[in-house]
Structure 1
Amino acid sequence: MPQNATGVIARLDLRGSRPGLRELRAALPRAEFDVEAALATVRPIVEDVRDRGAVALAEAAERFDGGAPPSLRVPAEVVAAALTELDPAVRAALEESIRRARIVHEDQRRTDHTTRVVDGGSVTERWVPVDRVGLYVPGGRAVYPSSVVMNVVPAQAARVPSLAVASPPQRDHGGWPHPTILAACALLGVDEVYAMGGAQAVAAFAYGFEEDGAVCEPVSLVTGPGNIYVTAAKRLLKGLIGIDSEAGPTEIAVLADATADAEHVASDLVSQAEHDPLAAAVLVTDDAALAEAVEAALVRRVAATKHTERVAEALAGRQSAIVLVDDLEVGLDVVNAYAAEHLEIQTADAAAVAARVRNAGAVFVGPWAPVSLGDYCAGSNHVLPTGGCACHSSGLSVQSFLRGIHVVEYDEAALRDVGGHVVSLSRAEDLPAHGEAVLARVPEVEPGA
């Protein structure tokens, strides 16, 4: 287990060994994030929204957000006013973030493809967007207009015909979501915005509701990060709706060698630690001198940063550590086992090392690509798998909003040619009616023919 001798961040010394995947998964630091335990709290909230709709949503806002909004749907004039009043520098930054994200996500679009299997027989894969999505934007310790961009841009690039955004009501802003979030919606042309947060927002999207004669129709898919209760609601409602992922606390891992700048590494660890006391910050290095220098830099930077207490708690928590290894080969084993949401490669020949990474939500290569660039303006998406899920899941993309539909076209001759095999396989599976559906069309076929 990691040992915390300095009080700033723990150390895990793996030198002298090359542990396997099972050992690494057991040894590497992780935040405690018990979604299953949160289900007991979330279930009655979700059921209440299902049964009582807008009334339950207003009561939940009173209970969890300090007051119900004037209406659940944010009026168009409130959204427009937020953009008018937006700081010009923030507007320019959001516009550039949107521009870069559109470039990347438009290139992700898929095209339909038809495969001719035999003469007269083809299978086409059509890529069809979901009918309607609910996009969740958190509003707790921080304000996340960037998450509006990261959710909306790929949905629009996928040509989703109907989308809605939800973000928690803010008592300090008249019960509406934070004005910067509303301004981002306006910049993206999103006019269906709701003042609702937490598990109740996910339930509202899943079941739909009516308020003063206006209907919020149910969605097919809910995307976007949130707290443990948002995640628990996604787990509970998965199946009724699709979800992007079960997002946990944010993570950064840095794989670095002696060529890395300790100040760069420390600043990047702090940048992600300021999200949440459960945020994970992990440095993997084969250079003990770098580890010492990073620890010293962390002491200075934690004391100087705005959210000192939050950052200090995250760095000192069980989810954060400096991991010492013998060489970069073991370092790659470690980061692939950890499967970080964000992984920085700060080594000599960083591009070649990055090419050997198999498991990460996003990889940031070299000294000039910090994670914060990806959070805002790289063009990549920052809605990424956490908790080790990057070994099997991807971040949010255009593909998240598309479904592949196989379209099968066979003429009579093509069916006759393969029909005997269908009959044989149907009998082997003791499903003879499957074969009879073929024989009804081409009765002359012989099994196995």
Structure 2
Amino acid sequence: MAIPIMTDLDAARAGILRRMPLDDDAATTRVVAEIIADVRQRGDNALREYTLRFDGVERTAIEIPRERWAAAAADLDPALRRALLLAISEIRRFHERQLRNSWVEFGVEGALGQIVRPLDRVGIYVPGGAAPLPSSLIHAAVPARVAGVREIVVCSPPQRATGEPAAIVLAAAHLAGVDRVFAVGGAQAIAAMAYGTESIPRVDTVAGPGNRYVIQAMRMVYGTVGVVSLPGPTETLIIADQTANPRAVAADLLAQAEHVEASAILLTTDQVLAEQVQQEVERQLAVLPDANARAAREAVTQRGGIVLVPDLATAFRLANEYGPEHLCLLIADPWQYVGEVRNAGGVFLGEESFEVLGDYVAGPSHIMPTEGTARYASPVNVDSFRKVISLVGVNRAGLSRIGPAAMRLAEAEGLFAHAAAVRARLESLDTDGRD
């Protein structure tokens, strides 16, 4: 079955642009709730049992010693090590531009300001299934370190062959300078970081991508712990016109489609391009490894497609309704249309600025909002790992001016103790004035 070409915009809205549900979420929720409750009650013992059940690995110690990370980094192919270091450098350089500072403004009525503080401890989840993702580790750890986080802990599932997280994940942990690494994955890892166990410390916030069980666990522990975002299965939406290279368009669709449960959609104004991309997708699928090809074909045929639109204005309207994680503009003058983008995790402009660069080395974190959350959410960034504390230092002159309004508002809300607290201060001003 080939990637479908759709001409009915209403059908596209009701179908692939509506995000078809992946499965019965109630079943996922039940499983995750049981795991979270078990980890809260039994701590490390529950983690060991789930690691044996789900990963086929029996471990006594859950934490991976630091020397194992260093050994993994030392064993890296030199070219791969250089690539990881380049990615770390580019991610750090980008995120250093995001830093904002504490400030205090003094005036005749006192002072107002804010204190910007990093979080104390952050937990990062790193998937480790068929395709371990060291890039996800560095795309969360580097912004957290730039933010000034004191301690960064990583959870990643162990590989059956070694009993440890993938060697490249350990190497990335060493190069990115995290503090602790634990061999635990899935919803149980999120529960452990949220509530703490004998081995894993409780964190202030959790970041990182994951499968539906991981993301549901993040939803369920939010409030007990901060959750930076809920990045589910990856998605890409491409807007292309007649100038686009069909080979590049197909390659960009498949680059995301090979992830498990991904979606990949093309909106194009050109019928000829649509047909050429459809053919190119088939040609490129044929040369992918079997497992990648199966996942990619399912993504483009079940959760993806090509939609013909009458013009670029329609394409951008549909894209904003959809709110994709990745929005790729393969059009003649992409910069001309940046102002049309309202909802997207990241925008990739032109054929040379393709999304895979963003996955690894472009600079912005690749942990971006999915499932339409780009309507209100942002990619992982420095502020994901910092908090703002407000400073209020009103003096007598300020109290005299704004106090009466505060008292009236408190009375309007029926909060008379609030009003009395203001009145007491205002009366003391009057008394001092009479003296």
Q: How does 1:92-111 map to 2 (within 5 A)?
A: 92-111=82-101
**Mapped partners of 1:443, 1:29: distance in 2:** 60
| 1:3 equivalent in structure 2 | none
Distance change in 2, residues 1:257/1:228 (3 Å): same
Measured against aligned partners, the alpha-carbon deviations of 1:185-231 in whole angstroms (never above 9, x if no partner) come to: 111122310000000000110111114xxxx3211101100111101
Q: How many pairs were matched up?
A: 427
Partner AA of 2:316 in structure 1 = L
Q: The residue matched to 1:8 in structure 2 has which SS?
A: coil
Measured against aligned partners, the alpha-carbon deviations of 1:94-116 in whole angstroms (never above 9, x if no partner) come to: 00000000000111111123345
Partner AA of 2:114 in structure 1 = E
Residue 221 of structure 1, aligned match among 184, 205, 209: 205
Partner AA of 1:290 in structure 2 = L
Partner AA of 2:365 in structure 1 = N
**Mapped partners of 2:325, 2:82: distance in 1:** 28
Q: Say whether 1:127 aligns with 2:145.
A: no
Q: The residue matched to 1:253 in structure 2 has which SS?
A: strand
| 2:6 equivalent in structure 1 | 12
Q: 8 Å contact 2:151–2:178 — kept in the other structure?
A: no
| 1:143 equivalent in structure 2 | 132
Flag structure 1 segments of 5+ consecutive residues without an equivalent: 1-6
Q: CA deviation at 1:69?
A: 2.8
**Mapped partners of 1:26, 1:113: distance in 2:** 49
**Mapped partners of 1:142, 1:31: distance in 2:** 24
**Mapped partners of 1:258, 1:121: distance in 2:** 61
Between Structure 1 and Structure 2, the one with more helix by share is 2
**Mapped partners of 1:48, 1:62: distance in 2:** 15
**Mapped partners of 1:187, 1:228: distance in 2:** 29
Q: 8 Å contact 1:30–1:320 — kept in the other structure?
A: no
Q: CA deviation at 1:135?
A: 0.5
Q: 8 Å contact 1:250–1:280 — kept in the other structure?
A: yes
**Mapped partners of 1:429, 1:370: distance in 2:** 54
Residue 187 of structure 2, aligned match among 199, 203, 221: 199
Residue 36 of structure 2, aligned match among 12, 36, 46: 46
| 1:4 equivalent in structure 2 | none
| 1:281 equivalent in structure 2 | 264
Q: The residue matched to 2:256 in structure 1 has which SS?
A: helix
**Mapped partners of 2:58, 2:111: distance in 1:** 55
| 2:285 equivalent in structure 1 | 302
**Mapped partners of 1:355, 1:413: distance in 2:** 45
Q: The residue matched to 1:442 in structure 2 has which SS?
A: helix
TM-score normalised by the chain length of structure 1: 0.92
**Mapped partners of 1:29, 1:10: distance in 2:** 16
**Mapped partners of 1:27, 1:141: distance in 2:** 26
| 1:157 equivalent in structure 2 | 146
**Mapped partners of 1:96, 1:428: distance in 2:** 59
Q: 8 Å contact 1:341–1:384 — kept in the other structure?
A: yes
Q: How does 1:335-350 map to 2 (within 5 A)?
A: 335-350=319-334
Q: Say whether 1:425 aligns with 2:409.
A: yes
Q: How does 1:324-403 map to 2 (within 5 A)?
A: 324-403=308-387
| 1:65 equivalent in structure 2 | 55
Measured against aligned partners, the alpha-carbon deviations of 1:92-139 in whole angstroms (never above 9, x if no partner) come to: 1000000000000111111123345x6223321222112211100001
Measured against aligned partners, the alpha-carbon deviations of 1:255-287 in whole angstroms (never above 9, x if no partner) come to: 0000000000000101111111x2101000010
**Mapped partners of 2:80, 2:60: distance in 1:** 27
Q: CA deviation at 1:358?
A: 1.1
Q: How does 1:253-272 map to 2 (within 5 A)?
A: 253-272=237-256
Distance change in 2, residues 1:27/1:308 (3 Å): closer
Flag structure 2 segments of 5+ consecutive residues without an equivalent: 431-435
**Mapped partners of 1:270, 1:171: distance in 2:** 28
Q: 8 Å contact 2:6–2:12 — kept in the other structure?
A: no
**Mapped partners of 2:188, 2:396: distance in 1:** 53
Q: CA deviation at 1:26?
A: 6.5
Partner AA of 1:139 in structure 2 = G
Distance change in 2, residues 1:405/1:327 (3 Å): same
**Mapped partners of 1:167, 1:265: distance in 2:** 33
**Mapped partners of 2:87, 2:189: distance in 1:** 26
Q: 8 Å contact 1:345–1:354 — kept in the other structure?
A: no
| 2:433 equivalent in structure 1 | none
Partner AA of 2:134 in structure 1 = P
Q: The residue matched to 1:55 in structure 2 has which SS?
A: helix
**Mapped partners of 1:304, 1:248: distance in 2:** 27
Q: 8 Å contact 1:25–1:338 — kept in the other structure?
A: no
CA-based RMSD: 1.8
| 1:176 equivalent in structure 2 | 164
Q: The residue matched to 1:355 in structure 2 has which SS?
A: helix
Measured against aligned partners, the alpha-carbon deviations of 1:407-433 in whole angstroms (never above 9, x if no partner) come to: 101112321222211111111111111
Q: 8 Å contact 1:315–1:321 — kept in the other structure?
A: yes
Q: CA deviation at 1:236?
A: 0.9
**Mapped partners of 1:104, 1:172: distance in 2:** 37
